[in-house]
A and B are shown apart, each in its own frame.
Chain A
Amino acid sequence: MNLNEDLYKEIILDHYKSKKNRKRLPDAARHLEAANPSCGDDIDLYLEVENGKIQDAAFEGMGCSICLASADMMCDAFRGKTLAEANSLIDKFKGMLTRNEVPEFPDEAADLEAMQGVAKFPLRIKCALLAWTTAHQLVAEENKSEAEKSS
């Protein structure tokens, strides 16, 4: 096991340092705060959804490099996706980390494969998943409110 090959890859550190998606979105966006109580990762996730499509995704907060890099990659991957596509990405990402599945991400989201090495560090998996489980909740909320509107 090599720390630089499995955990602290350059691509992960680049996303960790990137500030592109670190912002708060306007009030109309869906928003949820989430934390890993055992380690102090604490993020606010925003999804701006219009007509079933994610127009923008962003986050603010504090956390380790794995948590924040994962959130950054997720925001990049989500932009322009439908809610169904986002859910499919969430499922694939979780599968890669928790079920040892070989990831098949679309080309524009290929960076996500860099996170595969985190699976070798069981205590860090929850860091990588925090943004994704939070997004899953936000997508579910959006779906529910859409369903209520149309009924």
Chain B
Amino acid sequence: MSQINTAGRAGVQSSSPYDVDLVRKDFPILQQKMRGKRFVYLDNAATSLKPQSVIDAEIAYYTTMGANIHRGVYEFSERATLAFDAARESLRAFINVPEDGHIVFTKGATEGVNMVASGWGRRHLQSGDEIVTSELEHHANLVPWQELAREKGLVLKFLPIDPETGTLSLSGIEETITDRTRLVAITAMSNVTGYLPPVKEIVRIAHAHGAIVLVDGAQYVSHHKTDVTDLDCDFLVFSGHKMLGPTGTGVLYGKEACLDQMTPYNYGGDMIVKVYKDRATYRDIPERFEAGTPNVAGVIGLGAAVRYLLNLGMDNVATHERNLIRYLTAAAEDVPGIAVYATSDTEHLGGIFSFNLGDVHSHDTGAILDNEGIAVRTGFHCAQPYMRFLGIPGTVRASLYLYNTTEEIDIFIRALARVKEVFG
């Protein structure tokens, strides 16, 4: 078998800050074969694989607790409630929530954006107010604002992307955010290119104009140390399933002052204090925003995911992925006919690699990689405006996580040659 010596050639070193082989043993699905080949999972921006400890935590809820939270007076309900509350505490520590901030559990990042658009936007924005976002956004952080703008007669503005560098410039941000801006909704990491916009600067500029900021952390939070106290954003949304947690879990972080200005998204059980025939009073934050039985097993699993990540260390995760993306970028340079969609700012880059091979449609490249046991995402990645900006119908996207290895990248690079064999 021919070895591609990418590390030597490009001078890219890739010593991981932790033993990645040991980490891989924690993920049972990595033992599976796909299409009869070694399973190489490079679709982490879509969802992450789960370690045994997360799977065990979910099972433990069903096998040793079983009961609903906050209600029962018996031991098992008490056990479930404590486990649920412990997960919330783990999340608080994970993103360094300040005293006056809260973790609200959601179904995922999409629900978090919709809760703010509906609960805060509908109540506080009026005709002529401006919302600022960017063309980098995932549809989840764009379509809710479009709907709100249409309903309330708001102006939707976009931070300009520098066509040369593919990044958001400080001057562009300063020109776009004005005193008419009431809310800025921005991703902390592009799910197409891995670009990390200057979110802290955006928060500072928005606050100077009296606007609040919602940060879409769906891609960022699972890969980098996140400190909302330092970032000073007003809202942060992210999804549990992209950070080793169960599907159907997510977090809306908000400052108390902002959450307090929001109407609840759902009304019903578990969010009330007193209910009369014609009215009701509501519980404090965060329970006010968690009507109905939540995803108890999922949240407990998410708590286990956070403990796994904290144990590994988020700075270590970021370093590992940074090494991998540099290795991958260098290795791809020699692939004939490859077009890479990346910003020129390699200092602010997460573990995402978007590309096309010649004029081969991304779906076809994806199908050939699938046949080699490699999972990638193809198409427009829920970011049609950004695809239009790039002038392409779609890309192939390889996205990395803490369990990926340079060996897997070698397998991926070798498999790209198969695309040329089939499509010439």
Q: Is the Cβ of A39 less than 8 Å from the Cβ of B367?
A: no
> What residues of chain A lie closer than 8 Å to B367, measured between beta carbons?
3, 7, 64, 121, 124
Given the known interface contacts A39-B378, A39-B394, A42-B393, the answer about A63 and B361 at a Cβ–Cβ threshold of 8 Å is: yes
Q: State whether the Cβ of B368 lies closer than 8 Å to any Cβ in chain A.
A: yes
Q: Is the Cβ of B422 less than 8 Å from the Cβ of A127?
A: no
Which of A3, A8, A39, A64 gathers the greatest number of chain B CB atoms within 10 Å?
A64
Q: Is the Cβ of A64 less than 8 Å from the Cβ of B422?
A: no
Given the known interface contacts A63-B361, A65-B364, the answer about A40 and B394 at a Cβ–Cβ threshold of 8 Å is: yes
Q: Which one, B35, B371, B379, B393, contacts A38 given CB within 8 A?
A: B379
Q: Which one, B363, B378, B387, B422, contacts A3 given CB within 8 A?
A: B422
Q: State whether the Cβ of B62 lies closer than 8 Å to any Cβ in chain A.
A: no
CA A64 – CA B393 in complex, angstroms? 10
Interface residues of B in 342-398 (CB under 8 A from A): 360-364, 367-368, 371, 378-380, 387, 393-394
Q: Is the Cβ of A13 less than 8 Å from the Cβ of B363?
A: no
Q: Which one, B35, B361, B371, B380, contacts A64 given CB within 8 A?
A: B361
Q: State whether the Cβ of B423 lies closer than 8 Å to any Cβ in chain A.
A: yes
Q: Is the Cβ of B363 less than 8 Å from the Cβ of A64?
A: yes
Chain A 108-143: CB-based contact to B (< 8 A → 1; otherwise 0): 000000000000010010010000000000000000
Given the known interface contacts A4-B422, A13-B423, the answer about A40 and B364 at a Cβ–Cβ threshold of 8 Å is: no
Q: Which one, A1, A3, A38, A63, contacts B368 given CB within 8 A?
A: A3
Interface residues of B in 42-73 (CB under 8 A from A): none
Given the known interface contacts A39-B378, A39-B379, A39-B394, the answer about A64 and B368 at a Cβ–Cβ threshold of 8 Å is: no
Q: State whether the Cβ of A102 lies closer than 8 Å to any Cβ in chain B.
A: no
> What residues of chain A lie closer than 8 Å to B378, measured between beta carbons?
39
CA A63 – CA B35 in complex, angstroms? 24
Using CB atoms, name the residue of chain A closest to B418.
A3
Chain A 23-47: CB-based contact to B (< 8 A → 1; otherwise 0): 0000000000000001111100000
> What residues of chain A lie closer than 8 Å to B394, measured between beta carbons?
39-40
> What residues of chain B lie closer than 8 Å to A42, measured between beta carbons?
393
Given the known interface contacts A3-B422, A40-B393, the answer about A127 and B35 at a Cβ–Cβ threshold of 8 Å is: no
Q: Which one, A1, A39, A41, A65, contacts B35 given CB within 8 A?
A: A1
Say how far A114's CB is from chain B's closest CB, in angstroms: 15
CA A1 – CA B367 in complex, angstroms? 13
> What residues of chain A lie closer than 8 Å to B363, measured between beta carbons?
39-41, 64, 66, 124, 127
Q: How many residues of B contact A (CB 8 A)?
A: 17
CA A114 – CA B238 in complex, angstroms? 45
> What residues of chain B lie closer than 8 Å to A4, measured between beta carbons?
422
CA A20 – CA B239 in complex, angstroms? 47
> What residues of chain B lie closer than 8 Å to A1, measured between beta carbons?
35
Q: State whether the Cβ of A11 lies closer than 8 Å to any Cβ in chain B.
A: no
Say how far A72's CB is from chain B's closest CB, in angstroms: 14
Using CB atoms, name the residue of chain A closest to B360.
A65
Q: State whether the Cβ of A62 lies closer than 8 Å to any Cβ in chain B.
A: yes
Q: Is the Cβ of A62 less than 8 Å from the Cβ of B393?
A: yes
Q: Is the Cβ of B423 less than 8 Å from the Cβ of A40?
A: no
Given the known interface contacts A8-B422, A39-B378, A40-B394, the answer about A3 and B361 at a Cβ–Cβ threshold of 8 Å is: no
CA A72 – CA B363 in complex, angstroms? 18
CA A43 – CA B63 in complex, angstroms? 51
Say how far B35's CB is from chain A's closest CB, in angstroms: 7
Q: Is the Cβ of B361 less than 8 Å from the Cβ of A65?
A: yes
> What residues of chain A lie closer than 8 Å to B361, measured between beta carbons?
62-65
Say how far A38's CB is from chain B's closest CB, in angstroms: 7
> What residues of chain A lie closer than 8 Å to B393, measured between beta carbons?
40, 42, 62
CA A8 – CA B363 in complex, angstroms? 12
> What residues of chain B lie closer than 8 Å to A40, measured between beta carbons?
362-363, 379-380, 387, 393-394
Say how far A119's CB is from chain B's closest CB, in angstroms: 14
Chain A 1-24: CB-based contact to B (< 8 A → 1; otherwise 0): 101100110000100000000000
CA A76 – CA B50 in complex, angstroms? 48
Say how far B422's CB is from chain A's closest CB, in angstroms: 5
A-B interface, 6 closest residue pairs, ranked by CB to CB distance from nearest: A64-B363, A64-B361, A3-B371, A40-B394, A40-B393, A39-B379
Residues of A within 8 A of B (CB): 1, 3-4, 7-8, 13, 38-42, 62-66, 121, 124, 127
Give me 29 A-to-B residue pairs in the complex whose CB atoms sit less than 8 angstroms apart, sorted by A's number: A3-B368, A3-B371, A3-B422, A4-B422, A7-B367, A8-B364, A8-B368, A8-B422, A13-B422, A38-B379, A39-B363, A39-B379, A40-B362, A40-B380, A40-B393, A41-B363, A42-B393, A62-B393, A64-B361, A64-B363, A64-B367, A65-B360, A65-B361, A65-B364, A65-B423, A121-B367, A124-B363, A124-B367, A127-B363
| Given A64-B363, A64-B367, 4 extra CB contacts under 8 A | A40-B362, A64-B362, A121-B367, A124-B367
